[in-house]
Amino acid sequence: MARTNYAARRAQLISTFGVGSLFPAENNSFMITSTDQWDEKRLKRVSEPRLARNLRVNELCLPPSGKSGHIPVVRFPDMLVCPRCNRLGNLRELKSRYDDPVCGLCSKKGELAPSRFVVACENGHLDDFPYAYWVHSYNPEDRENHKLSLISEGRTSSLADIIVRCSCGKARSMADAFNPLMLKEMRCGGNRPWLGWGYREKGCDKQPKTVQRGASNVWFPAVRSAISIPPYSEFLSRLVTQRAPQLSNPKILEPVAEFLLEDIVKEFQGRFSLKELRSEIERQFHGGEEDELSEKELREQEFLALMNGRQDNPDSEFVAEVMSVPEKHCAWIQAVRKVTRLREVRALYGFSRLFPREQNPEAKLSPLYPEDNVQHWLPAIETLGEGLFIALDREQVDAWAATKFARSRYEILKRNADQAAAARNTTPVPVDIVQVLLHTLSHMVIDQLALDAGYPASSIRERIYISEEQCGVLLYTATADSAGSLGGIAAQAHADRLGAALSEGIERTSWCSADPVCIESQGSGTDARNLAACHCCVLLPETSCELFNSELDRACLFGIQGQEAQGFFAWAESSGHRPQTGDQAEETGIVVPPAIEDSKWESIYLGEPKLRELIEEIADADVPVAEWGQDAGLENQWQIDLSWRSEYVAVLIDKNAERDEWLEDQGWNVFHLDDYAPSDLAHRISQDVY
């Protein structure tokens, strides 16, 4: 192991310098080792049970930080070159020490530099460039009589000026080293140095390819993220997770240990009750085996949480306020949410080489730990931010996707995907024209937010929600620095600001300085997975894009010459269809009572028509504001329409025997809207709450 310390940010250990990647440090190059070699005592748990379930691990942990938070590394590449005598070899051949790599063969004691070239394969293996094989077309057994040198002739900066010489007299330039045919006879050695020196994988059938040591395709992280939603976004949930070593013990719920729980309640000065603490411990650690959570289910839950909204609460890291849809764009927008507070957790669960998983779903992911030492945790980071959520009516979008114009754009992308797959002998990447439409819209709005909200585009991220009944996009900041919590994006959710921003974004993106070349494109980008999309219009920094700037087509939004009316915006305006939503279809023309206007009750009043009479009565009684749409159940499978959590009071619009029985078992006082007149129910609630 290398003993010299070099610094890296926590976030880089997930996105840039994770397990299996190469870390450049001054004149050295190191590889981050597998997680089984990390010191678990230095790790801090990250509370996000949904993401842990999705990735099939018990825990997510922050990488260690500070002076005592060391991440072990190994030197890689093994092949080094002396800039003084030009000798090429490993530490033993150059008579150098591991912790002080200087050449022991020349009198000038040149500081050894790592090889610029390595070989990688699509199965994730990484090895030194085979210099001896390159010069001789075979691997000589007598290495003593075949001493290599790497010489730069300095005439130009091309690879042809870099010469590999052997003491036997043979020499060859590196000019053709990046031609994949040049190494076609060489078998991949299956080297996995991040796991250790006993973990070569035998029988690899992929051809090794030459890459630059510092090239971006040497390591592509496989990162999955989740937005914390209730109840996992609440303070109590995070506290119980952080104290898992103590609270996961089954004996903690026995009467003899009650004093420990009481001490925790006192420590936080009544922010939660003893009953709530016990309930959360049971949910997290003693609720039985939970089913695996798929990526689709993960996002469906987040979409529903965003649509249901969440009022501001100092103990919650998820706040989504219901906002009015801009009147000018109500033809295609179903709902808008002002997300003033959110928390995102990102976890590294593997990596690939040469091709990212997003561009090649069949790319093999390399493990973060060896098969014979399985780890039940993954490295993760958590970030706080704010954002804007826009939902489209899925039925309306599906109707547009069935038009002749949309089908023609789909057929072009499908043809391109089939051709790219045939060239690689892989399965074609699926094409979804609805995703192309939503993704392009997302990029258009991000570009406009970068102008209006005061953020650089690289600090705004997208999160796309698409399923059989869902269609929406969350645009948010979630960074570890100050460019994540200034409130600029959430402020754009107000109807007047959002309407103006969308109008300007639509006008600006409807044409491109590269037109007509851009709008008439039949395929651009990697594997021709884009159509009308270029750096002059909708391409973004890849830190912002979920899909590596692929599956984009500006024509889906605006149409093409002669078919402008078939673009989604014009089609939605002319179709006469208006998205029907609970919080917007009946909102037009509503007069909000003075007691509710500009209060925290207003978003609930506008968002759920069935509760309006009750809210008017409650507001007159000066009852504290309730939570709207609180999650309930061991698996978060139900929602409470109105709740006063600290008093265990719930109001429900519809009846559900299983849910209602569960709430009563947990000590909740349950009221059904249809069982009482609004004034009577408001009176009963005021008695219980006060």
Q: Which amino acid is present at 611?
A: L
Give the CATH number, domain containing residue 633: 3.40.960.10
The answer as to whether 50 is a domain residue is yes
List b or e across 643-676, with b for residues whose CB sees 16 or more CB atoms inside 10 angstroms.
Answer: bbbebbbbbbeeeeeebbebbeeeebbbbebeeb
DSSP letter (8 states) at residue 526 = G
Q: What pLDDT is stored for residue 336 in this prediction?
A: 94
Q: Are 308 and 622 in contact (CB under 8 A)?
A: no
pLDDT higher than threshold 50 for residue 634: yes
| Rounded distance between C-alpha atoms, residue 115 and residue 127, angstroms | 11
Best CA proximity match to 566, nearest among 441, 394, 405: 405
Q: What pLDDT is stored for residue 456 in this prediction?
A: 87
Q: What pLDDT is stored for residue 234 in this prediction?
A: 66
Q: Are 378 and 34 in contact (CB under 8 A)?
A: no
Instruction: Kindly report which listed range (215-224, 595-604, 615-624) carries the lowest average pLDDT score.
Output: 595-604
Task: Write down the H helix ranges in 460-558.
Answer: 488-491, 495-509, 555-558
Measured CA angle at 213 (ends 207, 217), to 5 deg: 60
Measured CA angle at 300 (ends 361, 457), to 5 deg: 70
Q: What pLDDT is stored for residue 270 in this prediction?
A: 63
Q: Are 520 and 526 in contact (CB under 8 A)?
A: no
pLDDT higher than threshold 80 for residue 238: no
Region 507-512 average pLDDT = 93
The answer as to whether 638 is a domain residue is yes
- 3 state DSSP class of 194: coil
Residues near 593 by beta carbon (within 8 Å), at least 6 away in sequence = 616, 619
Task: Write down the H helix ranges in 383-461.
Answer: 394-401, 404-424, 433-452
Q: What pLDDT is stored for residue 449 in this prediction?
A: 92
The answer as to whether 34 is a domain residue is yes
pLDDT higher than threshold 70 for residue 472: yes
Residue that finishes a domain, picked among 220, 251, 269:
220
**How confident is residue 581, by pLDDT bands cut at 50, 70 and 90?**
very low
How many alpha carbons fall within 13 Å on the CB side of residue 621? 22
Region 118-127 average pLDDT = 93
Q: Which amino acid is present at 555?
A: A
Best CA proximity match to 277, nearest among 251, 306, 253: 253
Query: Among all chains, which residue has been given the structure tokens 């593997």?
Result: 350
Q: Residue 647 belongs to what domain range? A: 602-689
Backbone angles phi, psi at 227, to 5 degrees: -90, 130
| Rounded distance between C-alpha atoms, residue 348 and residue 13, angstroms | 9
DSSP letter (8 states) at residue 208 = P
- 3 state DSSP class of 279: helix
Q: What pLDDT is stored for residue 105 in this prediction?
A: 86
Region 506-525 average pLDDT = 93
Residue of higher predicted confidence among 158 and 113: 113
pLDDT higher than threshold 90 for residue 100: no
Task: Write down the H helix ranges in 78-152.
Answer: 131-136
- 3 state DSSP class of 306: helix
For the beta carbon of residue 162, count every other beta carbon within 10 angstroms: 18
Q: Would you call 251 exposed, middle or buried from its count of C-beta atoms within 10 A (0-12, 13-18, 19+)?
A: exposed
The answer as to whether 95 is a domain residue is yes
Q: What pLDDT is stored for residue 690 in this prediction?
A: 65
The answer as to whether 153 is a domain residue is yes
Q: What is the pLDDT of residues 395-447, one digit of tens each?
A: 999 999 999 999 999 999 999 999 998 888 888 889 999 999 999 999 999 99
Measured CA angle at 533 (ends 529, 537), to 5 deg: 155
Q: What is the pLDDT of residues 150-197, one digit of tens each?
A: 988 877 778 888 999 998 889 999 988 888 888 888 888 899 999 988
pLDDT higher than threshold 90 for residue 632: no
Region 522-550 average pLDDT = 92
Is the dihedral angle over the CA atoms 107, 108, 113, 117 positive or is it negative?
negative
Residue of higher predicted confidence among 589 and 101: 101
| Rounded distance between C-alpha atoms, residue 576 and residue 574, angstroms | 5
pLDDT higher than threshold 70 for residue 68: no
The answer as to whether 262 is a domain residue is no
Q: Partners of 44 in the beta sheet?
A: 62
Best CA proximity match to 228, nearest among 213, 212, 241: 241
Please provide the average confidence, as pLDDT, over all residues in the chain.
85
Region 659-669 average pLDDT = 88
User: Structure pTM?
Assistant: 0.77
| Rounded distance between C-alpha atoms, residue 267 and residue 246, angstroms | 15
C-alpha distances out from residue 511 to 20, 451, 529, 557, 559, Å? 43, 17, 20, 11, 11
Instruction: Give one DSSP letter per residue of 547-592, joined into a string.
Output: TTT-S--THHHH--TT-GGGSHHHHHHHH------TTTTTTTT---
Region 271-298 average pLDDT = 73
The answer as to whether 136 is a domain residue is yes
Region 328-341 average pLDDT = 92
Q: Which two tokens stand for residue 273?
A: 């009750």
What are the percentages of helix, strand and coil residues in the chain, rounded to 5?
Answer: 35, 20, 45
Q: What pLDDT is stored for residue 677 in this prediction?
A: 87
Is the dihedral angle over the CA atoms 131, 132, 138, 139 positive or is it negative?
negative
Beta-sheet strands, E only, within 28-161: 28-32, 44-46, 59-62, 73-75, 80-81, 87-89, 113-114, 117-120, 126-128, 148-152
- Count structural domains, the chain: 2
DSSP letter (8 states) at residue 660 = H
| Rounded distance between C-alpha atoms, residue 178 and residue 215, angstroms | 13
Q: Are 279 and 668 in contact (CB under 8 A)?
A: no
- 3 state DSSP class of 464: strand
Instruction: Kindly report which listed range (134-138, 308-312, 507-511, 675-679) carries the lowest average pLDDT score.
Output: 308-312
Residue that finishes a domain, picked among 220, 243, 262:
220
Q: What pLDDT is stored for residue 515 in this prediction?
A: 92
Give the pairing of strands 59-62 and 335-352.
Answer: unpaired
Q: Helices 612-620 and 678-689 meet at what angle, rounded to 10?
A: 50
Region 97-116 average pLDDT = 86
Q: List the end-to-end C-alpha distance of the chain, in Å, as a whole number.
A: 63
Length of the chain: 690
pLDDT higher than threshold 70 for residue 586: no
pLDDT higher than threshold 80 for residue 467: yes
Q: What pLDDT is stored for residue 76 in this prediction?
A: 93
**How confident is residue 2, by pLDDT bands cut at 50, 70 and 90?**
very low
Residue that finishes a domain, picked among 168, 197, 220:
220
Residue of higher predicted confidence among 527 and 292: 527
Best CA proximity match to 531, nearest among 550, 503, 507: 550
